[in-house]
Each structure stands twice: as structure tokens, then as C-alpha cells.
């Protein structure tokens, strides 16, 4: 389980008998660290389900900046 919300992420991981890693999915270095953790501690990946929800806080899609779009 990977998320920015540490408390909730740890709780869900515990309920699933899994592990938690704090991860900002928009950060390439964060991904590198998470993958390294999985390889070293868990022996790698068999399956990955990538489902990230990101909001810009902007209600009008025509006003989304390039930086905001890059985070979506």
C-alpha cells in the first residue's frame, strides 16, 4: 500500500496483512525508493495496481496550468 496519507495507509495495509510505503505518485524519486523497497524487502512485484486520484483544486478545466495538469 502506498499513499501520502500515512495513518490511513498504515491502517489499510494492516487490515490487508500488507505493508505501507509513503509515496507521492507524482515524484519520480519517490517511485524509485518504493520500487527499491519492494525489490529488497519483498523480492519484487508479481502484480501492481496503480490507481492514483489527484486533484488540482481548480473547478474549471480550462484554467488548469501545465504544472497542475502534470500532477493529474
Q: Over the stretch 33-67, which tens digit does the pLDDT of each residue have?
A: 999 999 999 999 888 887 777 777 777 878 888 88
Find the helix or strand (DSSP H, E) in which 22 lies: strand 21-22
Q: What is the pLDDT of residue 33?
A: 94
Q: Over the stretch 22-33, which tens digit does the pLDDT of each residue have?
A: 998 888 899 999
| C-alpha pair distances (Å), 51 with each of 21, 37, 62, 69, 71 | 15, 19, 24, 17, 13
C-alpha cell recorded at residue 39:
525489490
pTM confidence score: 0.66
For the chain, the structural domain boundaries read 2-71
Q: What is the pLDDT of residue 43?
A: 94
Amino acid at each position: 500500500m502506498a499513499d501520502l496519507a500515512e495513518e490511513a495507509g498504515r491502517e489499510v495495509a494492516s487490515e490487508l496483512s500488507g505493508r505501507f510505503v509513503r509515496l507521492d505518485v507524482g515524484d519520480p524519486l519517490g517511485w524509485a525508493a518504493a520500487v527499491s523497497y519492494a525489490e529488497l524487502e519483498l523480492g519484487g512485484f508479481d502484480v501492481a495496481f496503480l490507481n492514483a486520484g489527484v486533484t488540482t483544486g481548480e473547478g474549471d478545466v480550462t484554467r488548469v496550468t501545465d504544472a497542475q495538469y502534470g500532477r493529474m
